[in-house]
Amino acid sequence: MIDFTTLTVLVVDDQEFVRTIVKSMLNQLGIISTLEAADGDEALDAVVAHKPDVVICDIQMRPTDGFCFVKKLRQTNGVSDIPVIMLTAHTDSATSDKAHGLNIDAFISKPVLPTTLSQTITRVMLRRVVIG
């Protein structure tokens, strides 16, 4: 099992209220250490500086969207293997295919429930433990 109290999670969304809601859910799950970023550029800086255990990222953001962020992350030495969970309202197959093509670890739709978030984080982190 994953000890959520030891995890650091970066929440990336251009809407502050979404970041606040997701951080609140993470706190309910026992995750104490959360970081936040408003777009992909801020997110990449935060990942490099803090090396979180997992990133929860929206797709549609400006100026740098979630797909551009993940593409840059996967090319950045030392942090390229950090798991990314895409959290988005866009659930069409083209979006899902593009997300999986960028080696995204999980893809969940908004609005997210705490149980879904918990199960997804657990699944992603356990897969990383097995692979790593």
Which CATH number is 25's domain given?
Answer: 3.40.50.2300
Q: Does the residue 46 lie in any domain? A: yes
Indicate whether 119 belongs to any domain. Answer: no
- Would 26 be classed as within a structural domain? yes
pLDDT score, position 107: 87
- pLDDT at 99 (0 to 100): 75
Q: Which structural domain range is residue 92 located in?
A: 10-113
Mean pLDDT (whole number) for 6-16: 96
What whole-number distance in Å separates Cα of residue 49 and Cα of residue 131?
Answer: 24
Residues in the chain: 132
Question: In whole angstroms, what is the distance from residue 35 CA to residue 58 CA?
Answer: 14
Q: Do the domain assignments include residue 127?
A: no
pLDDT for position 71: 95
Question: At 130, is the pLDDT very low, low, confident or very high (cuts 50, 70, 90)?
Answer: low
- Dig out the tokens for 74 from the structure: 């996967």
For the chain, what is the domain count?
1
The helix/strand/coil state of 69 is helix
Q: Which residue has the higher pLDDT, 32 or 130?
A: 32
Is 33 part of any domain? Answer: yes
Q: Look at residue 21 and tell me if it is in a domain.
A: yes
Q: Is 125 part of any domain?
A: no
